Chains A and B, each alone.
Chain A
Amino acid sequence: MSKAKTQQPAVIHKVIMVGSGGVGKSALTLQFMYEEFVEDYEPTKADSYRKKVVLDGEEVQIDILDTAGQEDYAAIRDNYFRSGEGFLCVFSITEQESFQATSEFREQILRVKNDDNIPFLLVGNKADLEEKRQVTAEEAQHRAQQWNVPYVETSAKTNANVDKVFYDLMREIRSRKMDASKQNNGKKIKKKDSKRKKCTIL
């Protein structure tokens, strides 16, 4: 058993799926992980996936944390986000509200990570449901440009662009890690935001 473990590649890219409930985060994850598509919707709490992939010839592990979209769990999301290295911010092109919600997720991530250049992809899922589209590619693209992130449309159902979003994100993470190791040789990125507002009851 220990032998098996040592065989695992040392590099792990930690990806976090964020987005409103029901947009297809779990569906994308399961499609990527197991090439299966689940029709029925079961709210997620926090699921963990990890597997070995070959990224540009290099064996790495991808660790996916599939989170709850429901705001119920918003309070505990901070903790999750802290461990993430890259984010797939998913919305459903058939649901305008989910698109609106992406802003909040992005804000929360930037706040927790305190890093404007955190690897981040804006993902418009359910692209197979073109006839029910509520969010145009243009407006999504526009938002992505504002954030300076890529925008990709996917379908967990047809497997369109699913691998692409995960691999693109991993590449971003990899290049970020390389930058970071060059710049901060020894120095650690300050994780805590010293400017965080204090509770000012007193």
Chain B
Amino acid sequence: MGPPPVVTGVSPRDGPPGTRIIIRGENLGNDPKDLIGLKICGVDTLMTAEWKSSKKIIARTGPGKGKGDIIVITRSGGVGSCTVGFRGFFVQIGPLQDSAVWIDETQTVLANLGRGRPSSPMISKEDEDPLGISNEGNRAKSEEEMLEHFPDASGNLTLENFSPAWYLLENHQQASFDDLKMGLSYMKRRSSQQSEGPITFAKANLSGILDCLDSLTEMCEKFAKDDIQRECINSYAVSLMQAKSCADGLFQEVLGRKDKADATRNALGVLQRFKFLFYLPLNIERNIQKEDYNLVINEYIRAKSLFEDSPIQVFQKVYKEVESQVMKFKEMLQEKLRQPNSLEEQKKLIKYLMSLDIDNDPGWGCLLSQEKWLTKLFMDCKDSNTQEIQEEVPIAPPRHKASGGSLGLSLQAESRRELQEEAPVPPPRHKTAVVSSGLSLSGELVKVTSKSSDQMAGQKFKMPQKVVFVEELTDIMGRHFPDFWKLGQAYFSGSLHKEGGDKSYKPDQNKHAQFKQMVCEILRLFSNLLRAAFLPNSLENLSEKERKMYGQWPENKRDVPGAWLPHCVRYVRSCASSLCRLDLPSDCQACVQELALDMRTNCMFTLLKQAIADVRSLHIKETWIVELDDEFGGRTQLPALFGNIVNETVQHLHEVVVQNKTGETEIFSQRPVQIEATKLCTELLQGFAPCLEQLAFSVDKPNTTSTQSADLTSGSSELVMESSEDHLPSKDKKLIIMLSNCNHTKEHLIPLLVENLNKHGYVEMNKVLRSAQETYEKLDKKLFDSYVEEKSNPIIGSMEPNMYRGRFDWANYKRVNGVRNYLKEVLMGMIEIHAEVFSISPLFVSRVMTKIVDAVAEEMSRLVQCVTKFGENGAIQARLELLALQDAVALYRSAATRKSFKEALDCLTVLTQDNKKTLEDQLNKFKMQFKFQLMCFHSDTGEISESKT
């Protein structure tokens, strides 16, 4: 025989009957069969034993009571021993408590009966403390004493008038507060364990219960065997039934009370659990007020899932109320959705509606109402503005011209303020129109030419209605259309529905097309409204009715002034480009892009025309102040002004119109635009010519005193003429000034301007250059010819009479005595011309002088050839004079001049040696005499350097 089993460990070491324990030790058997006995507290529990190893057995305790041994018996080791034991105790089984083992109730029941108390359903054993604190210390107070303190109470847990204070004083007077706290948590745990229910209990005590059943059947069989008459068993049955009914009777009351309590508890629980439903109507209302719609919806959905099909009337009633509230809520949301709102807000509303299970498609509905709303906004905007313009007092046309400069800007700002008052939506503040100084120049023109400036100052400035209109309309567009489009995108991408719940909407292809249609409609409306205002001609193909719909702007009023156009264009363009960024279908936004392009083109043409007009009226700006310039000769400021207008117009146009933004059509890509632009450019460049011409030939008051011979001696390089009308230069002086201007324009300015235009994308500039230069060429010729004629006529006209002054006779001339005065006068006249031209423009000197000299030489030659007879001295005199003249103007001799001289000299007889000498002497004498006067003819450059020094 092997070593006997020893139990050295038990877990747990105590418990009620049926406790599952782990027994550990040594030699607890070699295998399950080796284990042949297990006694715990003297009760055989082999049936429950589960052999794990020779060191470990798991078993359940039986109904043994008190501390006892755990004895293992094995076949191999015999009866064992133990160093640890198990303490079995009876859990207090109350009358209503489940128990898997037999309980001897006689004691408790009888005791309770004896004391006339109902047995407690809660506490199973009197001496077990509900707090789990062991009863230590004696009772400090007697019952009588306690009654004194608590007259109506009792320390009995089972009684209605139970007083916890009494109980604690009675049983735990000495317990510390901590112990009491621990006791409380112990009690809580216990009560929660009790509520776990009978199934867990039966599970945990399965074997015990089966044991009980087995024993009962066994008992019954044994009885049946013994009881031959079958009377006994019947009488047992009868007794049992009686006992049962007796017990039932006994517990009826208790059970009834328990049932009632349970029912009440249930009801309370239900109320507690569903109180949210009863509060729901109130809560919904509150949350709607707080705009916490999500919460409303969540609560509603929760209520719906819980109570929609609830058969309970109370719930039905409240739920109906909730339903009707939610119906109203839905309507409110739908109403809200119909109203304009931010995109996010709308998406939210749609999601709310979706999650509320709205049957119709709220997203689509919203899109529809948005379209209507947008259309209405556009139309309203148009109506209010056209109306405004009708009501406008027919005052002077909007002072666009005044918009140049700071005055214009401040006025504009003011009008904006005014605008803000009537429209809640201030137009987006783009760069205000920058009006070039070229345009402000024309502004001054208007002041001078047309309306009196007084009237203008008195008039309240107002932004042209159309400009207001374009600002408002583009603002509406920019503000609301993207939202509309994005909402549509969201709708079709399904992102509106994602959170909407189970329904998965498939974007209906039909609706997709419809939406696109809507977008196109809106954009077309937008562009046509603007067209009606700015480009009414482009709507010509439409029916009268349609045109009416797009708004009729009074024709008689002056059109939007050019200075405002860039402003408008800017609005339209930025609107178009923001649409571009939205990734609209290209065919939809085409009309807006076209509109933008047309607006640009229109603006460009208008501004160019404006510039042409400005250029053409430049002549009134002439001050006749000539500034000398070594390179190009003298000129007034007019060419520079002309250049400025052109350049600034080009620059301005480039900034607002020509320059392309991404996605825009190149403005010069259209052939008609090219042609028109080129045409306008040509006109613009040519426009200066009439101006010059007009100035050159302008006949002013016959007061030409101030145009007296230019004062050569003054030596000043700047001829100051007072700009007052009384001190205008003489006619010929004007001619030469304008000639110089014209030349400068032709040679210098035009190429520069053309280059600039070219640089900015204007096409066919060669053509423009050519035609412009042709124009100026013509003007140049005309001016030049007039000038030369103007200048040479007096000299030539006076030559013949002067030559024959003092009854001069070539045939009988006595003595050759130097060059005669007439020739000196001719020379002086030429010097004077030289000086005048030189003072304006040295460049022209040679050109003018050649022409003059030519004419003089021709006249001289004619005169000489007309002489019928020369005397000897006469011939010498004639030769002397011819040679003197020839010599003096040698620098400006042309072929024709040379020919004239030759022909004249050929008529004269050949000189004798003597005469030759005389001639030479006389000639030298003249040269000496006139040395200084003639110096100017010697060399232009020499002259210039001399005049400089």
A residues near B, CB below 8 A? 1, 4-5, 8, 26, 30, 33-34, 36, 44-52, 61, 65-66, 71-72, 74-76, 78-79, 196-199, 201-202
Contacts of B168 in A (CB 8 A): 199, 201
Cβ of A108 to closest chain B Cβ, rounded Å: 9
Interface string of B325-362 (1 = CB under 8 A from A): 00000000000000000000000000000000000000
Cβ of A138 to closest chain B Cβ, rounded Å: 31
Contact in complex: B182, A46 (CB < 8 Å): no
Bound together, the chains give a CA A79 to CA B179 distance in angstroms of 12
Cβ of B590 to closest chain A Cβ, rounded Å: 70
Contact in complex: B174, A199 (CB < 8 Å): yes
Partner of B9, one of A47, A71, A199: A47
Decide: A50 near B84, CB < 8 A? Known: A44-B11, A201-B168, A201-B169.
Answer: yes
Cβ of A54 to closest chain B Cβ, rounded Å: 15
Number of interface residues of B (CB under 8 A): 37
- The DSSP consensus for interface residues of chain A is mixed
Asked if B761 CB lies within 8 Å of chain A CBs, one says no
A-B contact pairs, 19 of them (CB 8 A): A1-B79, A4-B4, A4-B81, A5-B81, A46-B14, A48-B11, A48-B13, A49-B24, A50-B83, A51-B83, A71-B185, A74-B185, A75-B179, A75-B183, A75-B186, A76-B134, A198-B174, A199-B174, A199-B175
Cβ of A22 to closest chain B Cβ, rounded Å: 16
Decide: A51 near B8, CB < 8 A? Known: A61-B83, A202-B169.
Answer: yes
Contact in complex: A199, B172 (CB < 8 Å): yes
Q: Which residue of B lies closest to A47 (CB)?
A: B11
Partner of A78, one of B4, B174, B179: B179
Bound together, the chains give a CA A194 to CA B173 distance in angstroms of 14
Contacts of B24 in A (CB 8 A): 30, 33-34, 49
Bound together, the chains give a CA A115 to CA B694 distance in angstroms of 131
Contact in complex: B9, A49 (CB < 8 Å): yes
Asked if B131 CB lies within 8 Å of chain A CBs, one says yes
Decide: A74 near B12, CB < 8 A? Known: A49-B84, A198-B173, A199-B172.
Answer: no
Bound together, the chains give a CA A71 to CA B178 distance in angstroms of 12
Asked if B898 CB lies within 8 Å of chain A CBs, one says no
Decide: A76 near B132, CB < 8 A? Known: A33-B24, A198-B173, A199-B168.
Answer: yes
Contact in complex: B182, A75 (CB < 8 Å): yes
Partner of A49, one of B4, B8, B174: B8
Contacts of B177 in A (CB 8 A): 197, 199
Asked if B826 CB lies within 8 Å of chain A CBs, one says no
* Contacts A49-B84, A75-B186 supplied; 6 other A-B pairs, CB < 8 Å: A4-B4, A74-B182, A76-B186, A197-B177, A198-B173, A199-B175
Contacts of A198 in B (CB 8 A): 173-174
Asked if B10 CB lies within 8 Å of chain A CBs, one says yes
Contact in complex: A50, B8 (CB < 8 Å): yes
Contact in complex: B11, A196 (CB < 8 Å): no
Contact in complex: B176, A48 (CB < 8 Å): no
Contacts of A66 in B (CB 8 A): 11
Q: Which residue of A lies closest to B134 (CB)?
A: A79
Asked if B671 CB lies within 8 Å of chain A CBs, one says no
Contacts of B169 in A (CB 8 A): 199, 201-202
Interface string of B83-117 (1 = CB under 8 A from A): 11100000000000000000000000000000000
Q: Which 5 A-B pairs have the closest CB atoms?
A: A47-B11, A48-B13, A50-B83, A75-B182, A45-B12
Contact in complex: A48, B189 (CB < 8 Å): no
Bound together, the chains give a CA A13 to CA B96 distance in angstroms of 44
Contacts of B4 in A (CB 8 A): 4
Contact in complex: B84, A48 (CB < 8 Å): yes
Contacts of B11 in A (CB 8 A): 26, 44-45, 47-48, 66
Partner of A75, one of B14, B83, B131: B131
Contacts of A76 in B (CB 8 A): 132, 134, 186
Contact in complex: A47, B186 (CB < 8 Å): no
Contacts of B173 in A (CB 8 A): 198-199
Contact in complex: B79, A47 (CB < 8 Å): no
Contacts of B131 in A (CB 8 A): 75
Contacts of A51 in B (CB 8 A): 8, 83
Q: Which residue of A lies closest to B132 (CB)?
A: A75
Contacts of B85 in A (CB 8 A): 48
Bound together, the chains give a CA A4 to CA B180 distance in angstroms of 44
Bound together, the chains give a CA A135 to CA B173 distance in angstroms of 41
Cβ of B13 to closest chain A Cβ, rounded Å: 4
Bound together, the chains give a CA A71 to CA B15 distance in angstroms of 19
Bound together, the chains give a CA A198 to CA B180 distance in angstroms of 12
Bound together, the chains give a CA A201 to CA B149 distance in angstroms of 12
Decide: A196 near B174, CB < 8 A? Known: A5-B81, A8-B83.
Answer: yes
Cβ of B279 to closest chain A Cβ, rounded Å: 37
Q: Which residue of A lies closest to B4 (CB)?
A: A4
Asked if B304 CB lies within 8 Å of chain A CBs, one says no
Partner of B55, one of A5, A34, A44: A34
Contact in complex: B13, A46 (CB < 8 Å): yes
Interface string of B177-200 (1 = CB under 8 A from A): 101101101100100000000000
Contacts of B79 in A (CB 8 A): 1
Bound together, the chains give a CA A17 to CA B85 distance in angstroms of 18
Bound together, the chains give a CA A137 to CA B261 distance in angstroms of 57
Bound together, the chains give a CA A75 to CA B55 distance in angstroms of 32
Q: Which residue of B lies closest to A7 (CB)?
A: B81
Cβ of A69 to closest chain B Cβ, rounded Å: 14
Contact in complex: A75, B84 (CB < 8 Å): no
Decide: A201 near B165, CB < 8 A? Known: A46-B12, A47-B9, A72-B185.
Answer: yes
Asked if B518 CB lies within 8 Å of chain A CBs, one says no
Bound together, the chains give a CA A201 to CA B15 distance in angstroms of 34
Contacts of B179 in A (CB 8 A): 75, 78
Contact in complex: A197, B185 (CB < 8 Å): no
Q: Which residue of B lies closest to A65 (CB)?
A: B13
Asked if B409 CB lies within 8 Å of chain A CBs, one says no
Q: Which residue of B lies closest to A202 (CB)?
A: B169
Bound together, the chains give a CA A26 to CA B22 distance in angstroms of 13
Contacts of B476 in A (CB 8 A): none
Asked if B133 CB lies within 8 Å of chain A CBs, one says yes
Within 8 A of A (CB), among B127-180: 131-134, 149, 165, 168-169, 172-177, 179-180
Bound together, the chains give a CA A52 to CA B6 distance in angstroms of 11
Q: Which residue of B lies closest to A52 (CB)?
A: B83
Contacts of B149 in A (CB 8 A): 202
Bound together, the chains give a CA A33 to CA B8 distance in angstroms of 9
Bound together, the chains give a CA A198 to CA B173 distance in angstroms of 7
Bound together, the chains give a CA A66 to CA B9 distance in angstroms of 10
Contacts of A78 in B (CB 8 A): 134, 179
Partner of B10, one of A34, A47, A74, A196: A47
Cβ of A28 to closest chain B Cβ, rounded Å: 13
Bound together, the chains give a CA A100 to CA B922 distance in angstroms of 142
Within 8 A of A (CB), among B1-58: 4, 8-15, 24, 55
Contacts of B9 in A (CB 8 A): 30, 33-34, 47-50
Bound together, the chains give a CA A49 to CA B134 distance in angstroms of 24
Bound together, the chains give a CA A65 to CA B85 distance in angstroms of 12
Contacts of B185 in A (CB 8 A): 71-72, 74-75
Bound together, the chains give a CA A8 to CA B179 distance in angstroms of 38
Bound together, the chains give a CA A34 to CA B131 distance in angstroms of 36
Decide: A48 near B10, CB < 8 A? Known: A34-B24, A74-B182, A201-B168.
Answer: yes
Bound together, the chains give a CA A36 to CA B8 distance in angstroms of 14
Contacts of A44 in B (CB 8 A): 11-12
Q: Which residue of A lies closest to B55 (CB)?
A: A34
Q: Which of B15, B173, B182 has the most CB of A within 10 A?
A: B182
Cβ of A141 to closest chain B Cβ, rounded Å: 29
Cβ of B150 to closest chain A Cβ, rounded Å: 11
Contact in complex: B176, A1 (CB < 8 Å): no
Contacts of A1 in B (CB 8 A): 79, 81
Contacts of B8 in A (CB 8 A): 33, 49-51
Contacts of B83 in A (CB 8 A): 8, 50-52, 61
Contacts of B172 in A (CB 8 A): 199
Partner of A47, one of B13, B134, B175, B182: B13
